């Protein structure tokens, strides 16, 4: 079998090189491009790319030998424009983000439910004063997206005694969910949801799914999380919903434009929490392990894990 060339194009190149060399993968030559000029020099040799999508995108037209692109991120939407190349296999990382995203969602949710910031302020004033609260038990969580991340968040919700509903394209039953519905049921489900969590990818169908008309259906007091893609939420309409009380609170890790511009009114909205797209993180050890498993499949001609359907967009 002939040798394959892998080009590494990520901020964790050194780490990946060490891990992959240690794995002794057969017939694999590993190259690193740590800067733009190296990348342009080496891209023509690459049969395989292991890269951050945005970093690799401008180089794709010159990747003449490319047959497989392993994204080091979950989000690959920058590679899915209708006029982009589709003559290679694109895989993303899946299955490793569920626990971290669940920690993010429940860390923020419990911090809000249990008024942690309020007690922090009271501590500064040396004030011993308790305020009423309710637990998560019996509350309803609606999760948009029932893949591995959605399922993990659902299991955590069930652990805390919540009722967990899901929305997916197929409406198929999934582990951790009490019930899964298709998109047309969304408005009806929103009326029941105390907590809404979007883990949706960026596709044509999910763009601005949360807009002014949608927020009309939310239960008063509801909290919205977006840990999927920013495009699922219309920022202007969200601000109005937060200002008028259609929605009690939003916790956003993703935005239509990232980094969120300093002049965005989202930063200053009191009932909105902004975090810099870090609800989950691709730990290099996990990503390298996914690559190793996929490489064995690749040289065996087997279907790759995490393969993106260019039409569906995920």
Q: Catalytic residues, which ones?
A: 229, 258, 277
* Phi/psi at 3 (5° precision): -75, 145
Q: Does 100 bind its own copies (CB under 8 A)?
A: yes
Contact 75, 53 (CB under 8 A): yes
Closest of 130, 10, 95 to residue 294, by C-alpha? 95
Q: Does 238 bind its own copies (CB under 8 A)?
A: no
- Cα 104 to the center of its chain, rounded Å: 12
Q: Does 137 bind its own copies (CB under 8 A)?
A: yes
**Cis peptide bond upstream of 259, omega within 30:** yes
- Cα 52 to the center of its chain, rounded Å: 14
Contact 19, 288 (CB under 8 A): yes
Total residue count of the chain as it appears in this document: 314
Closest of 57, 133, 135, 148 to residue 94, by C-alpha? 148
As a whole number of Å, the end-to-end CA separation of the chain is: 32
Helix (H) or strand (E) holding 39: helix 36-42
Q: How far is the CB of 127 from its own copies (least distance, A)?
A: 8
Q: How far is the CB of 252 from its own copies (least distance, A)?
A: 10
Q: How far is the CB of 45 from its own copies (least distance, A)?
A: 32
Piece of 55-63, 107-115, 174-182, 225-233 that binds its own copies (CB under 8 A): 107-115
Residues 297, 295: Cα–Cα separation, whole Å: 5
Q: How far is the CB of 279 from its own copies (least distance, A)?
A: 9
Which C-beta is closer to its own copies: that of 35 or that of 278? 278
Which C-beta is closer to its own copies: that of 99 or that of 171? 99
Q: Does 110 bind its own copies (CB under 8 A)?
A: yes
Helix (H) or strand (E) holding 291: helix 284-300
Between residue 159 and residue 198, which ones bind its own copies under the rule CB under 8 A? Answer: 159-161
Q: Does 126 bind its own copies (CB under 8 A)?
A: yes
Piece of 12-20, 110-118, 203-211, 241-249 that binds its own copies (CB under 8 A): 110-118
The sign one gets for the Cα dihedral 106, 108, 110, 112 is: negative
Among 36, 84, 123, 179, binds its own copies (CB under 8 A): 123
Residue with tokens 């890269």: 51
Which C-beta is closer to its own copies: that of 120 or that of 204? 120
Count residues contacting its own copies (CB under 8 A)?
47
Among 19, 185, 274, 299, binds its own copies (CB under 8 A): 274
Q: How far is the CB of 67 from its own copies (least distance, A)?
A: 33
Residues 173, 182: Cα–Cα separation, whole Å: 11
Among 108, 174, 229, 234, binds its own copies (CB under 8 A): 108
Among 211, 240, 271, 275, binds its own copies (CB under 8 A): 275
| Contact partners, residue 288, CB within 8 Å, separation at least 6 | 15, 16, 19, 20, 23
Binding interface with its own copies (CB under 8 A): 99-100, 102-104, 106-108, 110-111, 113-114, 116-117, 119-120, 122-123, 126, 128-133, 135-137, 155-156, 159-161, 258-260, 262, 264, 267-268, 273-278, 281
């Amino acid at each position: 079998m002939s040798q394959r060339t892998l080009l590494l194009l990520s901020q964790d190149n050194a780490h990946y090189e060490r891990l992959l060399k240690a794995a002794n993968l057969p017939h694999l030559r590993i190259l690193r491009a740590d800067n733009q000029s190296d990348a342009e020099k080496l891209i023509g040799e690459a049969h395989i790319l292991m890269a951050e999508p945005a970093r690799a995108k401008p180089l794709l037209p010159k990747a003449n030998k490319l047959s497989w692109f392993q994204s080091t991120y979950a989000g690959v939407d920058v590679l899915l424009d209708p006029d982009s190349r589709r003559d290679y296999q694109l895989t993303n990382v899946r299955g490793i983000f569920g626990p971290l995203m669940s920690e993010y969602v429940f860390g923020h949710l419990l911090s809000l439910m249990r008024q942690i910031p309020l007690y922090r302020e009271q501590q500064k004033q040396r004030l011993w004063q308790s305020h009423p609260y309710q637990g998560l038990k019996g509350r309803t969580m609606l999760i948009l997206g029932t893949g591995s991340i959605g399922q993990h968040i659902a299991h955590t919700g069930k652990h805390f005694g919540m009722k967990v509903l899901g929305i997916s394209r197929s409406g198929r039953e999934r582990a951790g969910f009490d019930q899964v519905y298709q998109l047309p049921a969304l408005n009806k489900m929103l009326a029941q949801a105390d907590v809404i969590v979007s883990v949706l990818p960026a596709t044509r169908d999910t763009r601005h799914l949360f807009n002014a008309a949608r927020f009309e259906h939310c239960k008063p007091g509801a909290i919205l999380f977006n840990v999927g893609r920013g495009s699922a939420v219309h920022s202007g309409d969200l601000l109005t919903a937060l200002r008028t009380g259609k929605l009690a609170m939003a916790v956003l890790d993703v935005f239509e434009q990232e980094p969120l511009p300093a002049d965005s009114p989202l930063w200053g909205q009191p009932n909105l929490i902004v975090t810099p797209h870090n609800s989950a993180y691709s730990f290099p050890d996990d990503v390298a392990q996914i690559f190793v498993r996929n490489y064995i499949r690749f040289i065996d001609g087997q279907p790759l894990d995490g393969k993106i359907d260019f039409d569906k967009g995920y």
